[in-house]
Structure 1
Amino acid sequence: MSSLGPKHRIFARLADIAQAIGHANRLDILEHLAQGELSVEELAARTGLSIANASRHLQILRKVRLAEPRRAGKRMIYHLVGETDVVVLLSALGRIGERNSAEIQLVMANYFGKRDALEPLTRAELLARVEADDVLLLDVRPEDEYAKGHIPTAISIPLADLESRMKSLPRDRLIVAYCRGPYCVFSVEAVALLRAQGFQVRRLEDGLPEWRAAGLTTET
């Protein structure tokens, strides 16, 4: 029995990490932190949580060292610890969910599928098109997230501004939209809006964090 002790101790700590990410709000927080560091107040505003509730979730993530803060004056600014590993973990969780959960499959079909009937572009396909200079890459996240890091050559038009700035986009060139990750709705809504106006548009299969986790170049 003693020979199982080390394994069980490791599994217990892994279970702590699994429990820490086992909440929808904390997964949402991790997705936001994957775009770049944010204060407690900023995270609360973006996730729709109270500051106290956001802080409580962050403390749980901090306890298992998925997120850590730094002090900036009176504010606590959080960042991911081991960002690439966290993004890979969340991507694996998403793949398992899409395979095993009938509810996730239904949401993917009824929301993502209905708004974008075309298959998203893979990172490899996008890389080839960027290198061939035959695509306009559109980052539809908020401008501050774009400033913290974006795919090279991408231009920033947040989803909220897209309709008013649509006239500046080319109609004779493929547009590829991307946002925070595979379940971020910004790029899906951007594709639906642009395609309804006759633009050639696709979306990237995931987002900036996955691009960065794959070791691909980003710009700030």
Structure 2
Amino acid sequence: MNIREFKTSLYKEMSGMTKALGNPHRLEILDLLAQGPVPVEYIAVNTNLTVANASQHLQVLKNAMLVVSEKRGKYNYYKLANEQVFKSWCALRRLGFSQNEEINNLFNDFRKERSELKTISRDELIQKIKTDSVVIVDVRPEEEFINGHIENALSYPLNELRKKMSELPKNKEIVAYCRGPLCMMADVAVMFLSTNGYKASRLEHGFPDWEAEGMPVEKL
């Protein structure tokens, strides 16, 4: 194999990965798998796909070596192939926000409609943790909380928040987080808490970003 053939082969292999990323459903699946290993049935429910469609998208991602699977009892659990896949997804996400005006407009318009929504950064949260002035709530489904969560966070799945809200103190700020900056569960939680008299804000990013930055986490 000469140098030209070698380079062509390399670019061909890389293009297979980029083609696999060229679908919104597959990007959403990667964002979900960043929370931890889950079966295809869970992926289907949380991406509004049929199990058959979710399986097809997972096969494309698996063939591109972006996800791997393992057998757990009767079920196949899927997860990101390695840390580099998540870093690549984060880089693609940043690229989209920096280069695509429509993405920024969609995001900013959504947030402007919810002017009462307050966000805080990772560094701000760390300072508030040190002063014991916050309660951190994870509003993702319990399965994702079990896979991993911010240290000392409480599990308050969004669909249970109304029922469990009275357990939260009103003398501390409630910081909600979810899957990441493209996930709106924390936005909904903050708006609901704010309208019910709580001082609430959402963490700018989600659990996978927090973990990737080496911040304290727990797994059950």
Q: Same fold (TM over 0.5)?
A: yes
Deviation at 1:111, TM superposition (A): 1.3
Cα shift readout 1:81-129 (whole Å, capped 9, x = no counterpart): 11x3222212221222112223212211121332255562221221222
Inter-CA distance 139–116: structure 2 relative to 1 (3 Å threshold): farther
Residue 105 of structure 1 corresponds to 104
Contact 2:97 2:103 (C-alpha < 8 Å) held by counterparts: yes
Q: What is the aligned residue count?
A: 218
> Which whole-Å CA distance do the structure 2 matches of 1:75 and 1:167 have between them?
37
Residue 174 of structure 1 deviates from its aligned partner by: 1.1
Distance in 2 separating the partners of 1:19 and 1:5: 21
- Give 5+ residue unaligned stretches, structure 1: none
Asked whether the equivalents of residues 87 and 210 of structure 1 are also in contact (C-alpha less than 8 Å), the reply is no
> How far apart are the structure 1 equivalents of 2:186 and 2:10?
39
Q: What is residue 19 of structure 2 aligned with on the other side?
A: 19
- Indicate the residue corresponding to 2:215 in structure 1: 216
Matching residue's letter, 1:67: V
In structure 2, C-alpha distance between the alignment counterparts of 1:71 and 1:140, rounded to whole Å = 28
TM-score where L is the length of structure 2: 0.92
C-alpha separation between the residues in 2 aligned to 1:63 and 1:116?
43
**Aligned partner of residue 199 in structure 1, secondary structure:** coil
Q: Equivalents in 2 of 1:130, 1:65: separation in Å?
A: 38
Per the TM alignment, residue 189 of structure 1 is displaced from its structure 2 partner at its CA by 0.6
In 1, Cα distance between equivalents of 2:115 and 2:29: 26
Indicate the residue corresponding to 1:121 in structure 2.
120
Q: Structure 2: where are the runs of 5+ without partners?
A: none
Aligned partner letter, 1:77: Y
- The ranges of structure 1 where at least 4 consecutive aligned residues each deviate by more than 4 angstroms after the TM superposition are 2-5, 116-119
Secondary structure of the structure 1 residue equivalent to 2:55: helix
Q: Deviations over 1:124-156 (max 9, x none)?
A: 221222132221101000111111110001111
Percent same amino acid among aligned pairs?
A: 38
Task: Give how far 1:72 is off.
Answer: 2.4
**One-letter code of the match for 1:13?**
E
* C-alpha displacement of 1:5: 4.3
SS at match of 1:49: coil
TM-score (norm 1): 0.92
- For residues 84-95 of structure 1, the aligned pairs below 5 Å read 84-95=83-94
Counterpart Cα distance in 2 of 1:160 and 1:198: 19
Q: Does 1:40 align with 2:40?
A: yes
The separation in 1 between residues aligned to 2:5 and 2:119, in whole angstroms, is 46
Distance in 1 separating the partners of 2:200 and 2:9: 50
> Alpha carbon RMSD of aligned pairs, Å?
1.7
